[in-house]
Every structure is written in C-alpha cells, then in structure tokens.
Structure 1
C-alpha cells in the first residue's frame, strides 16, 4: 500500500441550525451570555451592577402593563429568529409565558411582545443597528436604554422594512410605551 495525500473536502459554512445548537450547548462562564449576531457566535458579559436598578424599574413597570399571559423578566433566555438566522438573549423581555413550556433551550421569537436592550460600550452598535433591524420586523415594541447618552428610545409598529415609529426621551422624563402596553414609562431616578 502506498501513501498518498488525500485532500480534505472543504468545509461549508455552518448552518443557522448548527450554530444555534452550538450556542445552546455552550458552557459560558458565569456572568456571560452567548448570542448569534451577524452569523457569528458572540459571547458578552451580563450587564454591569449599576444597570440593575434601571432594569428592575423597567421590568416592574412593564409587568404591571403586560398583555395577559405575558411575563417581564431579565433571565438570560435565548430567542430564535430563524428568518433572520439570528438568536438573541435580550437584557429584558416580555413574552408569552406559554413559550417557556417547551423542552428546548431557546424560545420562539414570535412569543415576544417587547424587548429592551441596555447599551454598553461593547454592545451599543449591535443594539442600535443589528438588533434594531431584526426586532423591527417582528417584535411589537423595542426599548433601547442608552446608558452612555442617558436616553431611552421606544420603537414600535414593526414592518418588513423595520419599525415605522420611534420616540426618544432623556432619563428623568416619561416615555409613552404603545399598545399592547399602553402606559407612560417613568424614568425618574435613571
């Protein structure tokens, strides 16, 4: 038997499903989350401690006005957006509680009624561009809490081309959050 070189078949790019499986099976270090952003697995730290009070204030107000059967939480769950081949773990979400009855490790993004991202230096670009583009096609309401600029922006009325409406206020002002919530978010103390 003679030795001869055997070419290795070129590996095709990973599929969305295989990347999603990899993210689900990852053992990320405590305090970190993994997401699929722009076709890549991105690991980033959870929010800083100083974000907690703002996150709690937003979560409590959203829970009081959430659609029936929906829950507001900050738990690190992954939501899959198959049409965009993305999967995000929002900083805060409001979703149909029935979505968490499934056996899988990620929830269907169709369960979301609202997502909120709290910007950091490392995530600000993704929160304002990548995620805005994906959420804007499906999620009824998207809040961007811009921790660097001390502003909060509400996007609503999703369409195939992204959100049709938005409003920005500085921390300390009230922000109208449209249906299915229909209330004024108080940012006093932010």
Structure 2
C-alpha cells in the first residue's frame, strides 16, 4: 500500500491503520536505543528504524515497528513484507494514537514469537522490556523509569542507558 509521505500503514485487527511517523522529539530516544542495541545485536542482524512491514501469518497481522532487530537475510526476499520469524527484538514508541495497540494488540502478537519487545512509553516516561515468548505471551516483564538502566536479556544481554530518553 502506498501511504502519504510521513505516514505508515499497519494491519491491526483486520483493518488497515495509517498513522503518522514519530514526532521530532522521539528522534533522540530512538537513535540512542538503536545505537545501544546495535552494539549487542546477534551477528548477521541489523538494527533499524526503517519503515518495514513484518507479517505475522498465525495472527493474520502485519506491523511496521518503530525499531527492530532482524536477521539481515530476511531482506534478500522480493516483496514488501518481511517474515516476522527474522525478528529478535521489536521496540514501539508510544504516542496518544498508538498506545492501545502497542500495549495490547502488539504485545499479544509479539509475545508469541519475538524474543524481546520493548515498549518505550513516551507519555509515562518509562520503558518496559518483555521477553521469553510463549504460546500464551511473554513470561517476563520489567519496567523502569527514564533515567534508570534496563537490562535487555538474550540474545542481547546488555544494559540500556535511558538517561537520554
């Protein structure tokens, strides 16, 4: 789907949802998180904020995460949708219009497949790490306020400094 400049589209609950890209004030937080994760990403994986849509066939969904770490080989395919099985981490930066989907819909879908899901709650000024996916969702959750360090488990096993968020 071609979207207007500055917007992205996702399939959420069977509907195409078009939302604007992040606001300017998100840039520093996104860049800081991307750079910290990039240093600890598994070999052969890329850390990006590019607008790429990942398909989740079992859930009949497709999402374009704000930040992702994925196996670079997934981008050798033709087409516009990458395989969600390539993901090792997804981060969503909440906004007033996306908070519900980030905390509910995406948490449920990511929690069955993606090893690590970070919700960077820009309104509450907190970051939550979900990990250890299962058929029933994530088994682990840890939340810290901006300014505190957050441990991100395997396959990263690193500490994220949120002081610049």
**TM-score, structure 2 length as denominator?**
0.99
Gaps in structure 1 of 5+ consecutive residues:
1-25
Report if the CA contact (8 A) 2:89-2:114 is conserved.
yes
Q: Aligned partners of 1:162 and 1:154: how far apart in 2?
A: 13
Of the three residues 73, 77, 91, the one matched with 1:98 is 73
Q: Aligned partners of 1:136 and 1:66: how far apart in 2?
A: 19
Q: Aligned partners of 1:189 and 1:87: how far apart in 2?
A: 30
| In the alignment, structure 1 residue 30 sits paired with structure 2 residue 1 | no
SS in 1 for 2:27: helix
Spell out, residue by residue over 1:46-69, the C-alpha distance to the aligned partner (whole angstroms, 9 max, x if none).
100100000000000010000010
SS in 2 for 1:59: helix
The number of equivalent residue pairs is 165
Q: Aligned partners of 1:64 and 1:189: how far apart in 2?
A: 17
SS in 2 for 1:128: helix
Aligned to 1:86: 61
- CA drift at 1:128: 0.1
Spell out, residue by residue over 1:152-184, the C-alpha distance to the aligned partner (whole angstroms, 9 max, x if none).
000000000000001000000000000000010
**TM-score, structure 1 length as denominator?**
0.86
| Higher RCO by CA contacts (8 Å cutoff, separation 6 or greater) | 2
Aligned to 2:102: 127
Aligned to 2:121: 146
Q: Aligned partners of 1:28 and 1:80: how far apart in 2?
A: 18
Higher Cα radius of gyration: 1
Greater share of residues in strand: 2
Gaps in structure 2 of 5+ consecutive residues:
none
Q: Aligned partners of 2:137 and 2:87: how far apart in 1?
A: 16
| In the alignment, structure 1 residue 155 sits paired with structure 2 residue 163 | no
What do you get for the CA RMSD once the two structures are aligned?
A: 0.4
Structure 1 segment 5-84 matched on structure 2, within 5 A: 26-84=1-59
